Amino acid sequence: MSETKFDAVVIGGGFFGCSIAAYLKPHFGSVLLVDREDQLFRHASYGNQARIHGGYHYPRSLHTAYRSRVNFQSFVRDFPEAVVSSFTKLYPIARNQSKVTARQFERFCRIIGAPCKPARPEHVKLFNPRLIEAVYEVTEYAFNSDILRDTMRRKLEEANVEVSLNSAVERVQRHGSAWRIFLAGGAEVETNYIFNCTYAGLKHIPGLEPHCRTILKHEIAEMALIEPPDEIRDLGITVMCGSFFSTMPFPPRSLHTLSHVRYTPHTSWIDSGLDSPDPYEVMKAYPKETKAWHMLKDAQRYLPALARARVVDSLFEVKTLLVRNEIDDGRPILMERSESAGTVYSILGGKIDNIYDVIHRLQADGL
């Protein structure tokens, strides 16, 4: 590390930490980005479903749906190299136990201004008509997280942000009117501004945990990686709305993810800060026994072609959610600012395109 004093330190080298560090650099003389891993994007920013949300997934949270509409356009404009649009996205509506009907889904799409039309006959016939009421073709894409990471690495270089990997923040302590940050390996840095973008780790840095008061819930989430049969290779499919499944292209591995509302979350717990287990430690110790077969078995009742899918692997990652959105499944951002010695921001994006909401909030704070 070139210095021991920085105007701002961003903790967490996922998409949010990288984007925020690059955004902040013109506002601060020196910005340091630290991550505990040996590479950027080692956690949620890689191990996710890769969907650039267009709002369709959120009929129970109009706010999230509207924001997704706006942010989708911005993300596609700003990261064209990472956007994968070479597939057709379908939203089938389940006949039983769905929280929306086909009519309600159509109406919802009209309200949020999201393009949605009846799927083509060759796509409709892929689904079991006894279980699926209607199938819609929509405009929604995927992103390639490897390419997104390369883009962010370049932006950080261009912005002249110093990046320190293998640098877990072990604790933070007041130091006069500033903060002293203690890193793994014994290094220490001082700063007036801390941006805590550690997602699952938000409440697990001693000294910073009182600054994030929002109640968080973590899940150990499994997404199976499958080799899809030819009929669905060029499709992304999300069955609405409830305990169903989703399968999407996963560009970094040229496979599809398969997730299922019932089987993807293996276990979950409420985070009460340092008294709760560290999510990264929980993940490390977790046996990671796959439930891919359960996902496939249930999903093929709706989409029989999945009987010919081949399970290749699984991604396990901690998924962190705001407890207050459990009912409506909304994905607003969390941004808490507190002044103590210096200023601390605790930031959780919820989904990739929410970066624009975070930047608006920082702008509103004069940054």
Ligand X SMILES: Cc1cc2nc3c(=O)[nH]c(=O)nc-3n(C[C@H](O)[C@H](O)[C@H](O)COP(=O)(O)OP(=O)(O)OC[C@H]3O[C@@H](n4cnc5c(N)ncnc54)[C@H](O)[C@@H]3O)c2cc1C
Residues lying near ligand X in the complex (CB under 6 A) are found at: 11-17, 34-37, 42-45, 47-51, 53, 168-169, 197-199, 201, 205, 221, 223, 317, 319, 349-353
Q: Are strands 235-238 and 245-250 parallel, antiparallel or unpaired?
A: antiparallel
State the nearest-atom distance from the C-beta of 200 to ligand X, in Å. Answer: 6
In whole angstroms, what is the distance from residue 366 CA to residue 355 CA? Answer: 17
Q: How far is the CB of 274 from ligand X (least distance, A)?
A: 12
197/237 with CB nearer ligand X? 197
Which is closer to ligand X, CB of 25 or CB of 204? 204
- First-last CA distance in the chain: 25
Peptide bond into 241 cis (omega under 30): yes
**133 vs 219, beta carbon nearer ligand X:** 219
Tokens 């920085």 sit on residue: 6
Q: Minimum distance from CB of 151 to ligand X (Å)?
A: 14
Nearer to ligand X, 133 or 256 (CB): 256
- Least distance (Å) from ligand X to the CB of residue 60? 17
Q: How far is the CB of 50 from ligand X (least distance, A)?
A: 6
Q: Which residues make beta-bridge pairs with 345?
A: 195, 337
Tell me whether residue 93 or residue 169 sits nearer to ligand X (CB atom): 169
**Residue with tokens 């699984």, as numbered in its chain:** 314
**Residue carrying the six token digits 């501004």:** 193
- Alpha helices (H) along the chain: 15-24, 62-78, 102-112, 121-124, 145-159, 230-233, 279-285, 292-302, 355-364
